[in-house]
Amino acid sequence: ASLFAQVEMAPRDPILGLNEQFNADTNPNKVNLGVGVYTDEQGKLPLLKCVAAAEKQLLEAPKARGYLPIDGIAAYDKAVQSLVFGADHAAVKGGRIATAQAIGGTGGLKLGADFLKRLNPDAQVLISDPSWENHRALFESAGFTVGTYPYYDAAAKGINVDGMLSTLKAAPAGTIVLLHACCHNPTGYDLTEAQWNEVIAITKERGLVPFLDMAYQGFGNGIAEDGAVVIKFLDAGLSFFVSTSFSKSFSLYGERVGALSIVSETADESARVLSQLKRVIRTNYSNPPTHGAQVVATVLTTPALRQLWEEELAQMRDRIKLMRTALVDNLKAAGITQDLGFITRQKGMFSYSGLNAAQMQRLRSEFGIYGVDSGRICVAALNDGNIKAVSQAIAKVSQ
């Protein structure tokens, strides 16, 4: 028999598979609300001005590209740490945080998972129900058993906070709890400040290990506002993990720019943690690539470019909010009478629409509108040119 005779066909990735189906669709009015990508009012993936300017600057003084250090560009790691934790925070100044450049937010999660597996191989992992599909797969592929804590409450169009908190209270010490720092994917519902305080209190009391996934900083209420949760964990004196992604906030999806930060109790601990994290990186891909991190570091550390980035990020955030309001208006105009307030309560790129799988399939087959079967639609892909048709189609399948 041939070497690969026993290899089975793997299932298609649910979201990237949807993309392939979208690309093959010949409907001229098709709309892709499946994948989590921000497009501008013309329906185009933006190249941010701050990114173009940083790239121009880098091209004007071209450099040879040797290997980067295992943990990436030092100036990048420092800039990420300042952005996520604040340059003046005692934990940053005291050297208690180890930050390593990673291959996107996904890479940051995978590094953290591999690190944790070596640290505490028998720990359980809890992710939200539902969560980004890849969370489960990443932690399972690192060798963990992955369970869930309740999150989405369909009837209340919000979060099952009591269910979430009681599951966390019952979790054994050392349980790794994956939390979305902001703009929960896929539901769009975030905890309130008071609810975060409860999560933090339970985490402390039970000795849980928080892992904050921050893939959308700046897409909810603002850079500082969205990052406030991280500072809360820091101020609570916890040891924890943060994965950062710049895929969305810099519109640099293909450059794979992210990071993993690990907060320890002391600088000495942090140095040992970083040394082990470097071993994880070394045995995965040796060291990260240069370009994307160089661009992000240049933008974050050049005041004029930094300001431009903050403005461009605010424009993306504001446009998404505008589309949420417009979606409500257009759905009402199309005849939907139910309360649609949940759409503007949700944060970030996504809306859990409440539509079921059959309705989502009808949207695809009859109207060329592609969302995820869970009912998740990407509101960041709506624009004045498609929102009316999308709303009318949703009204039709809702009848």
> Which residues contact ligand PMP by CB under 6 A?
36, 104-106, 132, 180, 185, 213, 215, 245, 247, 258
* Catalytic residue, candidates 110, 114, 117, 132: 132
Nearer to ligand PMP, 105 or 368 (CB): 105
How far apart, in Å, are the Cα atoms of 334 and each of 31, 330, 392? 18, 6, 5
H and E: helices and strands count for the chain: 15, 13
**What's the N-to-C CA distance of the chain in angstroms?**
54
Backbone angles phi, psi at 377, to 5 degrees: -125, 150
State the amino acid at position 107 in one-letter form. Answer: G
Distance CA 126, CA 213 (A): 13
Nearer to ligand PMP, 22 or 132 (CB): 132
Contacts of 363 (CB under 8 A, 6+ apart): 355, 369, 370, 371, 393, 394, 397
Backbone angles phi, psi at 261, to 5 degrees: -120, 140
Measured in whole angstroms, the distance separating CA 234 from the mean position of its chain's CA atoms is 20
Closest approach, Cβ 118 to ligand PMP, in A, equals 22
Closest approach, Cβ 18 to ligand PMP, in A, equals 13
Structure tokens at 291: 């370009």
* Catalytic residue, candidates 117, 157, 248, 347: 248
Nearer to ligand PMP, 84 or 340 (CB): 84
User: Does the annotation count 132 as an active-site position?
Assistant: yes
Is the omega angle on the peptide bond into residue 62 within 30 degrees of 0, that is, cis? no
Closest approach, Cβ 112 to ligand PMP, in A, equals 11
Q: Given its phi and psi angles, is residue 241 left (phi above 0), alpha (psi -120 to 50 degrees) or beta? A: beta
User: Does the annotation count 196 as an active-site position?
Assistant: no
Closest approach, Cβ 131 to ligand PMP, in A, equals 7
Nearer to ligand PMP, 16 or 47 (CB): 16
Closest approach, Cβ 248 to ligand PMP, in A, equals 7
Distance CA 213, CA 277 (A): 18
User: Does the annotation count 129 as an active-site position?
Assistant: no
Nearer to ligand PMP, 54 or 296 (CB): 296
Nearer to ligand PMP, 280 or 331 (CB): 280
Rounded CA Rg of the chain: 21
Nearer to ligand PMP, 34 or 258 (CB): 258
> Contact, 209 vs 177, CB < 8 A?
yes
Residue nearest to ligand PMP (CB): 104
Distance CA 100, CA 98 (A): 7
* Catalytic residue, candidates 71, 213, 226, 347: 213
Q: Are strands 176-180 and 124-129 parallel, antiparallel or unpaired?
A: parallel
Closest approach, Cβ 258 to ligand PMP, in A, equals 5
Continuous H helices in the chain: 14-24, 49-60, 74-85, 90-93, 104-119, 133-141, 161-170, 193-206, 223-235, 267-284, 291-301, 303-333, 341-345, 357-367, 387-398
In Å, the largest CA–CA distance within the chain is 63
Structure tokens at 142: 């690192």
Closest approach, Cβ 388 to ligand PMP, in A, equals 27
Nearer to ligand PMP, 160 or 247 (CB): 247
Q: Which of 32, 176, 35 is nearest to 115 (CA)?
A: 176
Closest approach, Cβ 28 to ligand PMP, in A, equals 28
Distance CA 258, CA 100 (A): 9
Q: Which residues are catalytic?
A: 132, 213, 248
